[in-house]
Chains A and B, each alone.
Chain A
Amino acid sequence: MLNGLKAVLYREYTVFRKRAVKQIISSSVPPLLFLIAFGWGLGRQVNVGDLPYISFLVPGLIAMNSLNQCFAISAEINIARFYFHTFDEYLIAPVSEYEVVLGLTIFGMFRGFLSTLIIFIYTLLFGVQLILNPVFFIALAMHAFIFSALAVTTSMLVQDHSGQNLVTSFVITPMIFLCGTFFPVDKLPTAFKYLVLALPLTYSTKVIRATLTGGAVQYGYIYVLLIYCIIFFITAIWTLKRVEA
């Protein structure tokens, strides 16, 4: 039972163990730069509502950075598909598609959590006060699940590496900048606001921010995220079933 899941996790874990140091170092640089530039540099003069900007920024940064880390698995799956053909092993093995998707998604989530841990360490250094509430971890897990599953879907749909880059430039990056990570969504023009309300990042960022800064959590958003989790997971399985080598 679940031998396919075990196989995927074994592979990812074994590779990660060998690359851990490089990976952790490279994923700790961007959030530090954001904190310095926007938290310290710009943020001292700015407040969002009652919050100092840096307290507003850190939850957004956690959402952004974990999203980036989760989504980064799609580039790796891509390389496994098109360059090393190692992904073909999953397609010919007697395992269910959901096991492969789940394994890859769990690994993506792991990377997302790791990057969050790094930001937590920074907040201690910068003296940013955060509240750790169990709902935060639930929201972060769902957030990481959604974008890891999206990463799997993307890597199944694209036909090469440049297609992958296209998705990053036209979907991931705009989403990161618009969905309330760096400034509140209600500052957006109306047309954008509706677009943004259709994107899961808007909801995960809201819950993540509310929990970390002690604001009021809209529990309805948790259900919204749950629905996204289910849709994105099923989509990933569906695309894997159709993929050919």
Chain B
Amino acid sequence: MVKDIVLKTTNLRKSYGKTTAVDGIDLSFHTGEFVGLLGPNGAGKTTTIKMLSGLTKPTDGSITYFGLDFHSNQRFAKGVIGCVPQINNLDRDLTAYENMYHHALLYNVKDDSTNEKIMIALEFADLINYTHRQVKTFSGGTMRRLVIARALLHEPKLLFLDEPTVGLDPQIRRDIWDYILKVNQVKNTTILLTTHYIEEAERLCKRVLIINKGRIIAEGVPDTLKKDMGRYVLEVFKQEGIEERFFETRNEALASLKECQETCKIREVTLEDVFLKLTGRRIDA
């Protein structure tokens, strides 16, 4: 059913002068999906999100929301999107509540319930204690939560998260993961998350698109993508670098480990291996 498709793009392209940031991307998301856009720095993740949210105009290609063209139905489309940009863009002179209220006005969240909605959203994001504090006094993790809470205030059908946990410590990162998963599960919000953290993509996303140099080079369920490589990797530390050997089972890997003369280590295959195989370089370099 067409209605079920929240977002669809065809041959989406963006050039800045001679650089092509996004080079013909086709996307199609269903309601409630949690999709990851995984790629290294400069792959075109942010540029993609910017085009999808209306911050920048595509050089070519089309974007539709619920079957309606984005460009000619901007008011509708913008109303069903929530956007968490890579760089926090809260108003630092305002409090958490004031930032939320500003957003409520922009998205025409109805007057009589605005206050209640803001408090529920802050509660859901675990930010109640910060309600009336100035944003400039917040830590990075707290700001991130508030940006996400704000993007959800108008109950978007589709949420864009551009590197939601970049620069945060592991504990805070996990808290934010829990929060995002809760949003996807409780509210059935469709989510597009960009990241260059392998673990983040594997933990959160049901489907992953691997992007490199503006093109989607692989796509699928993380486990399936990895299965083509094998399940286990034996890393052999040689003088010229690390050699990786792939195996279907742990036992095969162990057998190979026993014959190994050099220092060796067994680990599970990750999406990093998939990326390395496809491009010859690492995501997390």
Contact = CB atoms under 8 A, between A and B. Distances in A.
B157 interface: no
Nearest to B160: A92
A1 to B, nearest CB: 9
Nearest to B77: A94
Interface stretch (A2-10, A140-148, A150-158, A164-172): A2-10
A6 B104 CA distance: 10
Nearest to B150: A89
A85 B91 CA distance: 9
B220 to A, nearest CB: 30
B27 interface: no
Given A10-B101, A94-B75, A94-B107, A86 B81 contact: no
Contacts of A6: 105
B108 interface: yes
A92 B162 CA distance: 15
Interface residues of A, number: 24
A94 B76 contact: yes
B117 interface: no
B51 to A, nearest CB: 10
B55 interface: yes
A10 B102 contact: yes
A10 B105 contact: yes
A84 interface: yes
B56 A11 contact: no
B contact residues, range:
20 to 34
Interface stretch (B82-90, B123-131, B232-240): B82-90
Interface in A82-130: 84-86, 88-96
Interface string A188-231: 00000000000000000000000000000000000000000000
Contact of B91 (A4, A11, A92, A94): A11
B185 interface: no
Find the residue from B57, B101, B106, B107 having the highest chain A CB count within 10 A.
Answer: B106
Contact of B55 (A11, A18, A244): A244
A195 B85 CA distance: 45
Contact of A245 (B55, B78, B102, B105): B55
Given A92-B54, A92-B83, A15 B93 contact: yes
Interface in A1-32: 3-4, 6-7, 10-11, 14-15, 18-19
B74 interface: yes
B54 A89 contact: no
B94 A7 contact: no
Find the residue from B76, B94, B101, B102 having the highest chain A CB count within 10 A.
Answer: B102
A94 B85 contact: no
Interface in B50-73: 50, 53-57
Contacts of A90: 106
Nearest to B81: A92
A94 B108 contact: yes
A6 B101 CA distance: 11
A88 B85 contact: yes
B74 A94 contact: yes
A95 B89 contact: no
B56 A245 contact: yes
A11 B94 contact: yes
14 contacts: A3-B107, A7-B102, A10-B102, A11-B102, A84-B89, A84-B91, A86-B89, A89-B103, A91-B54, A91-B55, A92-B78, A92-B83, A94-B77, A245-B56
Given A85-B89, A94-B76, 19 more contacts: A3-B108, A4-B106, A11-B102, A18-B93, A84-B89, A88-B89, A89-B103, A91-B54, A92-B54, A92-B81, A93-B106, A94-B74, A94-B75, A94-B77, A94-B78, A94-B79, A94-B107, A96-B75, A245-B56
4 closest A-B pairs by CB: A7-B105, A85-B89, A94-B78, A93-B106
Interface of A: 3-4, 6-7, 10-11, 14-15, 18-19, 84-86, 88-96, 244-245
